[in-house]
């Protein structure tokens, strides 16, 4: 009988992918379920990842001229009603506040009291209330463009939740801009998609496919929705960021008007774009393994963890040596930032090393008496098998650590590209297409399939109904090509990306 390799995470990806994901989040000490149904508590390690993501994205946004602001959590119902298509898209997910106080119920408990004159929506997104502010800020073409972003929480009352991927309350950023011309708004829409692409690929090491949503998948009220889609290890797609061209729809609903250079009154052209803690879930599912989390170095809370190994009586000199190593590493820069080092001197045996494996720290260093005697360090990289270790000269390691971290970043990105390439297919036969997705389950959720689509909402809906497969996007790089629709056989001029999705 073949020996079964022991892993830190049970079940493994192959055995039960959804449960594996939840166990990785738990084992890495990233988050836990809240007493409030569908919500989560983000623990320090998980929040440190989000902080790094916020800082890096914020820098990229500001490079394009965007400024941060903050808007109310509560949105009057009348504001939502100004944009009928928008509110219809979010109606089933809205949490509504109808009272402003509690009072005794006469039975030892409390009951809502003080009914509000107008119900308040807990923001699912902020186009309507930000539009109200933009309308007050805009009177002339000289007031435009307005380029605003806010870091906030939103509430969408989800029925089926999973930590980071889909929760009733989540953290995100939402950008909102207003422009004097249609072309300027379209260019902003694409520019922000470029920013998301850069961040997700260069920092989260997740390769993405850029494209346009079909009309039925657009953001409610938008004229055009662009997106980036990434493949998870179970071959499902995850939408990692979206950027919407809203046309003048929201400007008309909110009254964002201005006087043109020619002295005429016109409505502004607006955009919105957003990403959330869902990106963390995507990063987990793209890179992690059956021993736990694997973190891209550029967003890791710690780049290196030092584990001094000592016996009683030896601890002082070894610990001092470890502190010297920590200081030397922290004097180095990686991608413009000081290298972040954890020193773990707890006396808890082998569990100490496994904790950091499960947390996904890119580089682990063991430092014992023999290492010090030889002027070496024992190094393990998280992108390689946990059992693989290498002895390096101490000075050489200190000098090479930035390059080692960069190599890990490239390694996991290239691994994800190869995985997507191996699981992406062109298909023209409906029977093969259906057979692939009908048999898909668990860790084997089919593939990314590039197939022709005639443009019919009906064909798109039938595939979704039959297979739970959606058109993730119409890729920008999908070439013009004569073919026939994978569902109905009608003429088609371009392939689109089909997949199961989160």
Model pLDDT, residue 253:
93
Model pLDDT, residue 5:
66
How does DSSP assign 217-279, residue by residue? GSPTT-SEEEEEEEE-TTS-EEEEEEEEEEETHHHHHHT-EEE-TTS-EEE-EEEEEEEETHH
Model pLDDT, residue 196:
98
Q: Which DSSP helix (H) or strand (E) runs through 457? A: helix 457-467
State in words which class domain 424-499 has: alpha beta
- 349 C-beta neighbours (distance < 10 Å), count: 8
User: What is the CATH number assigned to the segment(s) 17-287?
Assistant: 3.30.930.10
User: What is the CATH number assigned to the segment(s) 304-404?
Assistant: 3.40.50.800
Average pLDDT by stretches of 10, the chain with 502 residues: 71 97 98 95 98 98 98 95 76 94 95 97 95 98 98 92 95 98 98 98 98 96 97 98 97 96 97 98 98 98 95 79 97 96 89 95 96 96 92 98 98 98 98 96 93 98 98 97 98 98 96
Q: Which DSSP helix (H) or strand (E) runs through 97? A: strand 95-104
pTM of the model: 0.95
Alpha-carbon Rg for the chain in angstroms = 26
Q: 11: cis peptide before it, omega within 30°?
A: yes
Q: Please choose, from the candidates 309, 303, 302, the residue with its C-alpha nearest in 3D space to the C-alpha of residue 348.
A: 309
**Same fold: 17-287 with 304-404:** no
Q: Which DSSP helix (H) or strand (E) runs through 475? A: strand 470-475
Indicate the angle between helix axes 182-202 and 44-63, nearest 10 degrees. Answer: 140
What b/e string do you get for 60-89 counting C-beta neighbours within 10 Å, with b at 16 or more? bbeeeebeeeebebebbbebbebbeebbeb
Q: Dmax of the chain from CA atoms?
A: 84
Model pLDDT, residue 383:
97
Task: Spell out the domain ranges in the chain.
Answer: 17-287, 304-404, 424-499
């Amino acid at each position: 009988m073949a020996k079964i390799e022991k892993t830190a995470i049970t079940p493994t990806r192959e055995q039960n992918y959804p449960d594996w994901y939840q166990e990785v989040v738990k084992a890495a000490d990233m988050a836990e379920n809240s007493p409030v149904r569908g919500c989560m508590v983000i623990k320090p390690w998980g929040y440190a990842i989000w902080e790094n993501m916020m800082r890096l994205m914020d820098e990229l946004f500001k490079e394009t001229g965007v400024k941060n602001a903050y808007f109310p959590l509560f949105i009057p119902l009348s504001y939502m009603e100004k944009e009928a298509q928008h509110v219809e898209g979010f109606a089933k997910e809205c949490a509504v506040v109808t009272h402003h106080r509690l009072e005794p119920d006469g039975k030892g408990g409390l009951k809502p009291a003080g009914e509000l004159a107008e119900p308040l929506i807990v923001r699912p997104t902020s186009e309507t209330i930000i539009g109200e502010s933009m309308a007050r800020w805009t009177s002339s073409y000289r007031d435009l463009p307005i380029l605003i972003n806010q870091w906030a929480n939103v509430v969408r009352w989800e029925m089926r939740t999973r930590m980071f991927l889909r929760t009733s309350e989540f953290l995100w950023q939402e950008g909102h801009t207003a422009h004097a011309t249609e072309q300027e708004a379209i260019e902003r829409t694409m520019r922000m998609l470029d920013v998301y692409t850069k961040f997700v690929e260069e920092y989260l090491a997740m390769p993405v496919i850029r494209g346009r949503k079909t009309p039925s998948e657009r953001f409610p009220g938008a004229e055009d929705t662009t997106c980036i889609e990434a493949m998870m290890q179970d071959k499902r797609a995850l939408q990692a960021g979206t950027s919407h061209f809203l046309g003048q729809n929201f400007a008309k609903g909110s009254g964002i008007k201005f006087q043109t250079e020619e002295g005429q009154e016109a409505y502004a052209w607006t955009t919105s774009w957003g990403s959330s803690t869902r990106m963390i879930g995507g990063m987990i599912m793209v890179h992690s393994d059956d021993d736990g989390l694997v973190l891209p170095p550029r967003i890791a809370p710690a780049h290196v963890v030092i584990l001094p190994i000592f016996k009683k009586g030896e601890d002082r000199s070894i610990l001092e040596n470890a502190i010297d190593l920590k200081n030397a590493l922290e004097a180095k820069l990686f991608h413009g930032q000081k290298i972040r080092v954890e020193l773990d001197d707890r006396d808890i045996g082998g569990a100490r090393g496994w904790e950091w494996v499960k947390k996904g720290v890119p580089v682990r260093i063991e430092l014992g008496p023999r290492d010090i005697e030889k002027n070496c360090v024992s190094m393990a990289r998280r992108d390689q098998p946990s059992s693989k270790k290498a002895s390096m000269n101490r000075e050489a390691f200190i000098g090479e650590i930035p390059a080692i971290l960069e190599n890990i970043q490239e390694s996991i990105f290239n691994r994800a590209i190869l995985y997507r390439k191996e699981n992406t297919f062109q298909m023209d036969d409906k029977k093969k297409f259906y057979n692939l997705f009908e048999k898909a389950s668990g860790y084997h959720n089919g593939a990314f399939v590039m197939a022709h689509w005639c443009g019919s909402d009906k064909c798109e809906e039938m595939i979704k109904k039959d297979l739970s497969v959606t058109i993730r996007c119409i890729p920008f790089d999908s070439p013009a090509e004569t073919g026939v629709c994978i569902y109905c056989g009608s003429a088609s001029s371009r392939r689109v990306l089909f997949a199961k999705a989160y």
